[in-house]
Homo-oligomer: A and B are copies of this chain.
């Protein structure tokens, strides 16, 4: 990947085409007006996420490689959240005019790092330069398995609420360097009847609330059972907020929160069948209300987390 670089947009595109591998489903990759892909076998999944410099990341802190990585990974996490198989991505970028080419290449290599790990070809994009800060938008396509996508809307009263890992304090590193739970989601989908699922991006308290809204139900979170990350404790020591607060509302953990029947939940907790994942039961779906339970007492839980002001 150290071939000499012709300049300009088309030089960059030529470089991209040379270093971009294809995949069996890619009939036409970058370089035409559209990419052409084999039609998926199951339903087609589509998700898009935009990262904006200064809002979603600080380029001087994390560098373009990690930003590129995150741009793909957040989209993979959305495909994981419906237990889908990612198939291809397109990427559009707005690059600052100065140093844009070097930035673009590092961004691209970061994207490739995680895309390759999940066998996702980058099949197209749009490269622009402008006077604004760095902006990257990725759209990821996927396909549902034969079991169909797992939506937010399928939670049932009595379901157990489970998560795939510790939460909170992602700003210390996890928000950039996480591995999206694509494989884990597919494995869980094989092993149990997943009723509802979401990836924890806005914060558990807010994301579980999304499940409740879509499923027309309530939930209770067991305060003592929420797995609190080391980073949440570290942040707590720094800012004095309880570690649990961080775990409930920091966001960008990119773990999965999902609901299953009590029987499936009990079995998953006992068997812990997914390598590298400690499945935790953190709550239960109820008919009404949104609660946190501490030592047997229920209080209202505020669905707070990360939200863009508009």
**Interface of A toward B, CB cutoff 8 Å:** 7-12, 27-28, 31-50, 52-56, 78-79, 81-82, 84, 88, 90-95, 97, 100-101, 104, 123-133, 135, 137, 139, 141-144, 149, 151-153, 197-199, 214, 307-310
Contacts and interface: CB of A to CB of B under 8 A. Distances in A.
B42 A131 contact: no
A44 B55 contact: no
Contacts of A55: 94, 128-132
A80 B258 CA distance: 41
B79 A310 contact: no
Stoichiometry, as copies per complex, reads 2
Contact of A12 (B7, B27, B36, B310): B310
A52 B133 CA distance: 11
Given A9-B310, A132-B54, A84 B34 contact: yes
A45 B54 contact: no
B101 A310 contact: yes
Contact of A128 (B90, B144, B308): B308
A308 B9 contact: yes
B133 A132 contact: yes
Contacts of A56: 128
Contact of A32 (B141, B214, B307): B214
The 9 A-B pairs of least Cβ separation, nearest first, read A137-B137, A33-B81, A139-B139, A50-B92, A55-B130, A9-B308, A34-B47, A37-B44, A48-B90
Contacts of A49: 92, 126
